[in-house]
Structure 1
Amino acid sequence: MLYSFLLAFHSFWRWVVLLTLVLSIGRAFLGKKGHRSFSKKDQQLSLLTLISAHIQLTVGVLLYSISPIVSYFWNNFGKAVHERQIRFFGMEHITVMISAVVVLTIGFSKVKKQKGDYEKFSSMFFWFGIALLLILSSIPWSFSPLTSRPNFRDFSW
């Protein structure tokens, strides 16, 4: 029951992470191009993006620790490492997603340290953009021929 709930929540929350990330990158791009001031709203959105990604990571790590797929992966490593979908969830997905959150966290820190508005927007655009590319590359999209899962899961148990 906990596994089903975490799986549904993790599936739903990815959209929150993606939305805040895309909004942050969009504001960074427009701020950089328009030579705008880095406002309190920009800072708050970047913080909301960071928080949403950290919530997703926390739920993902919890899910990883109780997942039957991951359990199978570690208990049958020699065989499972050669099974694409099992390897994806046992090793690839978590590695890339942790990397993405680390990149996002570094980017957030770098943005805060920048002095000028243009530099803040440039830094946010660069670091958050890399994080977005990493995340997009490791989501098990419904249309992926490699490892596919539903784009939306329901919370029914």
Structure 2
Amino acid sequence: MLNYFYPFILAMHSLWRWEVLIILTISLSIYFYKKKKQLPFSPIDQLLLKTTVISFYIQLFLGFSLYLLSPITQYFMQHISKAVHLRQIRFFGMEHSSMMIIAAICLTIGALKSKNADTNDRRFKILLIWFGLALLIVLSSIPWEFSPLTSRPSFRSFF
């Protein structure tokens, strides 16, 4: 029964990454603009912050689900001493998941630290640093279609 969900979750995870990348890029662009123009942190900015973090957490949940269902990660867990020497198996069994968890931590730290900022400028600076770091980690850890190391399609079919 669980294997029935695997292709759907894989396609969802592949599609949702674009949502995460778009909203994270929009967030950073708006925060950069507002910091540069010294504009106040508005309720819309707070909504954008929450939406960005929730969007990433949804992707993380899909990723955890995939980790449990994927034949690649199951092989990794069953043959860990051999699997760490196989580039693509190691990437999905260890590297990709670890880096995405670190990116989620960066987003969470940025969101929490920004709450306690005493000025709008400081708040935007904190968000730019932590969300920017998360974006760099995400971009470096996605199995891009053009990657010679762990190539995967940019979009997966649900069928």
Same fold (TM over 0.5): yes
Which residue of 103, 107, 111 corresponds with 1:108?
Answer: 111
Which residue of 30, 37, 60 corresponds with 1:57?
Answer: 60
The equivalent residue for 1:128 is 131
Task: Name the amino acid aligned to 2:129.
Answer: F
Segments ≥4 residues shifted beyond 4 Å = none
Q: Find out whether 1:155 has 2:146 as its counterpart.
A: no
Give TM-score scaled by structure 2 length.
0.96
Report the Cα offset of residue 115 of structure 1.
2.1
Report the Cα offset of residue 80 of structure 1.
1.0
The equivalent residue for 1:99 is 102
- Cα distance in 2 between the residues matched to 1:146 and 1:88: 9
Instruction: Return 5+ residue gaps in structure 1 as ranges.
Output: none
Which residue of 7, 23, 27 corresponds with 1:24?
Answer: 27
Aligned length: 156
The equivalent residue for 1:45 is 48
The equivalent residue for 1:72 is 75
Task: Name the amino acid aligned to 2:143.
Answer: P
Give TM-score scaled by structure 1 length.
0.97
Q: Secondary structure at 1:7's aligned position in 2?
A: helix
Task: Name the amino acid aligned to 2:17.
Answer: R
Instruction: Return 5+ residue gaps in structure 2 as ranges.
Output: none
The equivalent residue for 1:85 is 88
The equivalent residue for 1:139 is 142
Report the Cα offset of residue 82 of structure 1.
0.4
Task: Name the amino acid aligned to 1:87.
Answer: R
- Cα-to-partner distance string for 1:121-155 (whole Å, 9 max, x where unaligned): 11110000000000001000000011010011111
- Cα distance in 2 between the residues matched to 1:9 and 1:111: 30
Report the Cα offset of residue 111 of structure 1.
1.1
Which residue of 117, 121, 128 corresponds with 1:118?
Answer: 121
How large is the Cα RMSD of the aligned pairs? 0.7
